[in-house]
Amino acid sequence: MNRYSTHIPVYALALTLAALGCGPKQRSSAPASPAADSSGAITIKGSDTMLHLVTAWADAYMKSNAGATVSVTGGGSGTGIASLLNGTTSICASSRDLNEEEQRLAADKGLQLHPVVVARDAITIVVHPANPIGELTIEQLKKIYTGAYTTWDQLGGPAEPIVVLSRESSSGTYMFFLEHVLEKEDFSANAMLLPATSAIIQSVADSPWAIGYVGLGYAEEAAQKVKILPVKKDAQSAAIMPTVGTVTSGEYSIARPLLLVTAGEPAGAIKAFIDSCLSADGQKLVAETGYVTVN
């Protein structure tokens, strides 16, 4: 369950995804993502970062719509996008844009993908509470995760090896971190890839010299076990803690939009569900679960 880039324009990303629908339409026998069936059943699959939030939306929607069923599973943005392309989910929850291969597959199937920005998130850097390091720059994070830095004394800490923890490659958080922090350089061969945010938090809590990253929606949970580090855009900038306020203002430099994506324009129960996510009550849940509203 979930709770919880330099700053990137939210609507620019949405337009990038929407551009998949431009150009001549192709006829294809491939089925679009399934709409809700006659009972109003909806399936949502994808981002683990969004899992708490989407589950909260689903619970609220089912309470307000008698007989409606919304099934929510995680597995990562890549898993959700694959399910959308294969027609096995109604909605994909994604914390990243589609990659080139996914865009090609969508075009081959004649699918016009429709993204909607429903919330915003930030990447939160976590270390063990005993770690004396108090802040990091984006460049230092890049050097840690690419393997250029291997011990904490290279960052002003003790001469202890850095235990590098990352989400696995199917995660949208992994892809965002790869693109916006590592600038598409390879992760260190020593980086340990973990399947879920909860595993990152627990592993950092168990290892005094580990470092990991999680979504802002997990910050409250994480703060009970680990230390959240402020991040500097560069050496001359101020160190900024990830919060709703600093994401909204653009001060925090590792922020991103969160998307619900459908194959084609949403209609019927699917449209009603997405509209409920964007409603005042839906956006109230965004704030309550530790994310940033789109309003």
Residue 34's pLDDT is: 52
Mean pLDDT over residues 266-284, rounded? 96
Rounded to whole angstroms, the Cα distance separating 68 from 149 reads 51
Give start-end residues of each CATH 3.40.190.10 domain in the chain.
Answer: 10-120+257-288, 122-249
The β-bridge partners of 210 are 163
pLDDT tens column, 137-196 = 999 999 999 999 999 999 999 999 999 999 999 888 898 999 899 999 999 999 999 998
Strand order in the sheet with 239-240: 136-137, 231-232, 239-240
Residue 241's pLDDT is: 97
Closest C-alpha to 172, from 13, 282, 283, 59: 13
Q: Which CATH superfamily is domain 10-120+257-288 in?
A: Periplasmic binding protein-like II (3.40.190.10)
Question: For residue 244, is it left (φ>0), alpha (ψ between -120 and 50) or beta?
Answer: alpha
Residue 262's pLDDT is: 96
Residue 5's pLDDT is: 35
Q: Which CATH number is 122-249 given? A: 3.40.190.10
**Is pLDDT above 90 for 220?**
no
pLDDT tens column, 2-15 = 333 333 333 333 33
| Stated pTM of the model | 0.73
CB 215 within 8 A of CB 173: yes
Per-residue pLDDT band for 295 (boundaries 50, 70, 90) equals confident
pLDDT tens column, 99-143 = 889 989 999 999 999 999 999 999 999 999 999 999 999 999 999
In this structure, the strands spanning 255-263 and 136-137 are: unpaired
Element (H, E) at 91: strand 91-94
